[in-house]
Structure 1
Amino acid sequence: MLLLTPGPVQTRPETRAAMAVDIAPWDPDFGREYTMIRERVRDIAGGMAGVHATLPLQGAGHFVVEAAIRTFVPSAGRILVVSNGAYGERMTRLAREAGREPVVLAVPDTRGVLAEEVAEALAADPAISHVGMVYSETGSGVVNDPAAVGAAVRAAGRRLIVDAVSAFGALPFDLKAQPECDVVLFTSNKCLEGLPGIGFAVCPMERTRERAGLAGSWSFDLGDVLRHAERSGWGSFRFTPPVQALHAFGVAMEAYLAEGGQPARLARYTENMRVLRAGAERLGLRPYLDAAHQGPIILTLHQPEAPGFTLAGFVEALKRRGVLISNFYTTPTPTIRIGCIGAVTPDDMRFALGAMAGVLDELGVTRRAA
């Protein structure tokens, strides 16, 4: 089965095989492997040894986003949330339910936020301490620019939280160049092509130490994660970790580095997107985003307005042909979501396009109707 979702993504056989072992999390061999993983992802984030730390947390991306909000945004504090898609909306809810006050900067989900929009919102509300933004919005596929937004945040003397869950490892990010950034967040799956199960935060250590014990949650306190590592060693985990997933992530990291790291992964995903988008347009399917705003992570297409078309029917018919895509959408209008990330190639995109052509014929969707 060819898995084309924005997460979980298709993984390499050797990555999946690495799960089939029993590991003790306190074993020194695993501790050394875990320490190396932390150092490698810190380096990908543009972090510096002794200045920035990788702080893993069990669970989904939402868990580590909530942990970041709880850790860095003061209790009952205000956070400006850039909202141009479903994951900005979810950050807003996470902030509100953590007892913080979200101030929503609503932007159309068809373009990235502008730095001047952030600057204007911050100037209007001095009580805002942080800006929260999603790097790659997988609702529509649009990409925001953390460097440009970060410059506006830095100029205003505020702090930045970056949800890079579906961007990290492919789209560039450099903590050294963004001193206003409290944390960049991502997961073991998505663009690093590991198995799901672990969220990661890369943070400035001094800032994170200052916030230990202030999250209102022991589980979601990144300051406590750092404190534990400094006390017990960088190869240790506070609570029982998803050891097999971490081990598989180490294997995925080896493949990432062997491929050429971030530039090579971005190049492959960009070509995946180019092939898929051009082919979908030839099939008569209309992209949700203009090409100028299209990111390389996921292609979102308008659903055909044809009597025989339903999203559920399209997904199931594709599955019978060996291609699995998302069976839901998060845009205001009905769309189809097809991921371009994971251990997939442009040839896989061509295979998927052939399957899509067959399904559209089966459902009686003509090029004109699409």
Structure 2
Amino acid sequence: MLLLIPGPVQTRPETRAAMAQDIAPWDNDFRPTYASIRERVRVLAGGVEGMHATLPLQGCGHFMMEAAIRTFVPAGGKLLIPQNGAYADRAVRLATEAGRVVVALPGPDTRPVTAEEIAAALAADPAISHVAMIHNETGSGIVNDPEVIGPAVRAAGRRLILDSVSAFGALPVNLADHPEIDALIFTSGKCLEGLPGIGFAVARIDSVTAAAGNAGSWAFDLSDVYAHALRAGWGSFRFTPPVQSLAAFSVALDLHEREGGQPARLARYRENARAMYDGVRALGMAPYLDWAHQGPVIVTVHQPADPAFELQPFVDALKRRGVLISNFWNTQAPTFRVGCIGAVTPEDIRGAVAAIDGALRELGVTRREASGNDAPRQKVSARDDD
């Protein structure tokens, strides 16, 4: 089965094989592996030794986002969230339910937020201390570039929490160039092609120590993760970790390095995205985004106007052809989405395009263009990625 979702992704056999062992996470033989992962991740993020630290938590990307918001934004504090996609919507809920005050910056899910929009919003409300931004919106596929937004945040004297859950390892970011970033967050099961189960924050040490006592939660307190590492060592977890996922992640990092690191991974994913984008257009379908705004992680496609098209039967027909995609959509108009990340090649993507054609033929879909009146319909909540 070819898994084409934006996470968990298709992985290499070597990565999966590393899961097939029993490990004691606090055993002295495993501690160096975990400590090494933390250091390798810091380096990959462009973090500076003595200035940045890797602070993992068990769980998914939403856990990391909540932990970063709770840790760095004091209870009752204000943060700005550019709201141009489904995962920004989720960040709004996480922050609100954590007792933080959200200033939303609404925008379409078909283009990135601009530096001018961020600067104007920050100038209008001096009480905002942080911006929390989704790097890659896996609802639609747009990219909010920290190289564009970071300088605007820095110029305003504010701080940035960058949710790079579905971008890190492929899209570039260098923390040494971004002193405004308090935390860069991501997970094991996306562009680094590990197995799911572990999340990471690469955070400024001075911001972490200054944030002690903010979280209002022991489990989601990144300052406590840092304090524990100082006390018990960098190879020690506070609570029982998904240790097999960590073992697999170490292998995934090896494979990432062997491929050529972030630039090579990005180049492959861009080729994948181009093959899917051009492929569905050749089938008479309409991608959701203009190519100028199309990121490398996921290609989202308008659902065909033909009444014979229904998403779940289409997903089932694709699965019978050996291709598995998400069975929901969370854009502002009805779409289906195809992941372009994971251990997948452009040749795999071209095979998936042929499978899409076959599935549409099986369902009797002849009108493949988007409806001229493609009004938003009820979304289906995302279940398989975070």
Length-normalised TM-score, structure 1? 0.99
* Contact kept? 2:286, 2:369, Cα under 8 Å: no
* Counterpart check, 1:355 vs 2:355: yes
Superposition deviation, residue 367 in structure 1: 5.6
Establish whether residue 56 from structure 1 lines up as the match of residue 56 from structure 2: yes
1:163 aligns with 2:182: no
Closer, same or farther: CA 369–25 of 1 in aligned 2, 3 Å: closer
Q: Counterpart in 2 of 1:237? A: 237
Match of 2:42 in 1: 42
Does the CA-based 8 Å contact 2:269-2:296 persist in structure 1? Answer: yes
Tell me the amino acid that sits aligned with residue 231 of structure 1.
R
* Correspondence for 2:197: 197
Q: Counterpart in 1 of 2:383? A: none
* 2: CA distance, partners of 1:180 / 1:108: 26
Structure-to-structure mapping, 1:205-220, within 5 angstroms:
205-220=205-220
Structure 1 gap segments, 5+ residues each: none
The letter for the 2-side match of 1:10 is: Q
Counterparts of residues 69-108 of structure 1 (less than 5 Å): 69-108=69-108
Instruction: Give the match for residue 4 of structure 1.
Output: 4
Closer, same or farther: CA 222–308 of 1 in aligned 2, 3 Å:
same
Q: Which residue of 1 aligns with 2:145?
A: 145
Q: Which runs of 4+ in 1 moved over 3 A?
A: 367-370
Q: Partners in 1 of 2:36 and 2:285 — Cα distance? A: 45
**Secondary structure at 2:191 match in 1:** helix
Which sections of structure 2, spanning at least 5 residues, go unmatched? 371-386
Answering whether residue 332 of structure 2 is matched by residue 332 of structure 1, we say: yes
Matched, 1:124 2:101: no
Q: 1:183 maps to what in 2?
A: 183
Which whole-Å CA distance do the structure 2 matches of 1:246 and 1:26 have between them? Answer: 13
For 1:263, the equivalent position in structure 2 comes to 263
What is the CA-CA distance between 1:366 and the residue it aligns to?
2.2
Is the aligned partner of 1:115 residue 2:91?
no
Quick one: structure 1 residues 268 and 212, their matched pair in 2 at CA, closer, same or farther if it must change by over 3 Å?
same
**Counterparts of 2:369 and 2:338 in 1: how far apart (Å)?**
20
TM, length-normalised to structure 2: 0.95
- Partner of residue 29, structure 1: 29
Opposite residue 52 of structure 1, the aligned amino acid is H
Name the structure 2 match of 1:319: 319
Whole-Å Cα distance in 1 between the matches of residues 230 and 135 of structure 2?
Answer: 30
Identity of aligned residues (%): 67
Look up the match of 2:67: 67
Say if 2:341 is the partner of 1:341.
Answer: yes
Matches of 2:301 and 2:207, distance apart in 1: 42
Residue 212 (structure 1) shift? 2.0
> Does the aligned pair in 2 maintain the 1:225–1:238 contact within 8 Å?
yes
Deviation at 1:368, TM superposition (A): 5.7
Matched, 1:299 2:296: no
More displaced, 289-298 or 143-152?
143-152
Deviations 1:15-69 (A, max 9, x none): 1111110001111221101111111111111101111000000001000100000
| Counterpart-to-counterpart distance in 1, 2:180 and 2:368 | 50
1:136 aligns with 2:136: yes
Letter in 1 for 2:11: T
2:8 aligned partner, one-letter code:
P
Paired with 2:168 and 2:118, the residues of 1 have a C-alpha distance of 22
SS in 2 for 1:192: coil
Q: Determine the C-alpha separation between the residues in 2 that align with 1:239 and 1:119.
A: 40
**1:337-360, Cα deviation, whole Å (9 max, x unpaired):** 000000100011011011111111
Tell me the CA shift for residue 369 of structure 1: 5.3
- C-alpha deviation, 1:307, in angstroms: 2.0
Q: Is the 8 A contact 1:212 1:227 kept in 2?
A: no
Please state whether the residue corresponding to 1:130 is helix, strand or coil. strand
Q: Distance in 2 between matches of 1:49 and 1:8?
A: 30
**Residues 102-154 of structure 1, C-alpha deviation per residue, up to 9 Å, x if partnerless?**
10011111000000100000000011000010000000000011122110111
